[in-house]
Amino acid sequence: MTATKSEKVPRALAAKFGEIVAITDAFAVRHLDDEYRQLIRYAVAALCRKRPSPVTTGKANTWACGVTHAIGMVNFLFDPSQTPHMKVADLYRAFGIGQSTGQGKSKLVRDLLSMGQLDPDWTSPSRVADNPMVWMVMVDGMVVDIRRMPRELQEAAFAKGVIPYIPADGQKD
């Protein structure tokens, strides 16, 4: 786990952060859930902390859509077998932007935050247990699923912050 989970932003970007998350919070309340809302807030804050911050240019609704789409891609928002889910065209429509603009901004967000599908840093907390990438750890030069390793190795990985919790103990709220 390497992404900073914080809403802390430079003072100069506090207003822009507030403008973007006002849009994403309202969207999350209507269409998503609190886990998505929080991950989106963290991602917007991470973008605000970049130097120079990319959010200083462009419209708030475009950034809101791009970040929401990027977090949605990590968590399979566009897969109808998942809950919550929605069609990507509905997401773009809700933010009032076109498909190419939404895709472009999402790609920029994913590149800036080194984000990809099944990314452990951007996985919703309720999906962590089922995300195999969260549990892949290098042990003696080999990538292993730490859930299948002795507890001592799990404890060491947890102590180093490599995994979010000790699998045998289960996820803590």
The rounded distance, in Å, linking the Cα atoms of 99 and 88 is 9
Are 15 and 37 found together in one domain? Answer: yes
Task: Give pTM, 2 decimals.
Answer: 0.86
Residue 54, SS3 per DSSP: helix
Q: Where in the sequence is the domain holding 149, given as residue range(s)?
A: 131-169
Give per-residue pLDDT as tens, 93-140: 999 999 999 999 999 999 999 998 889 889 998 888 888 888 999 888
Q: What is the pLDDT of residues 7-16, one digit of tens each?
A: 999 999 999 9
CB 146 within 8 A of CB 155: no
Rg of the chain on CA atoms, in Å: 17
pLDDT at 1 over 50: no
Residue 106 lies in a domain: yes
Q: How many domains are there within the chain?
A: 2
Residue 4 forms part of a structural domain: no
d(Cα 31, Cα 154) in Å, to the nearest integer?
36
63 with 39, same domain? yes
Q: Are residues 42 and 68 in the same domain?
A: yes
Residues 100 and 136 in one domain: no
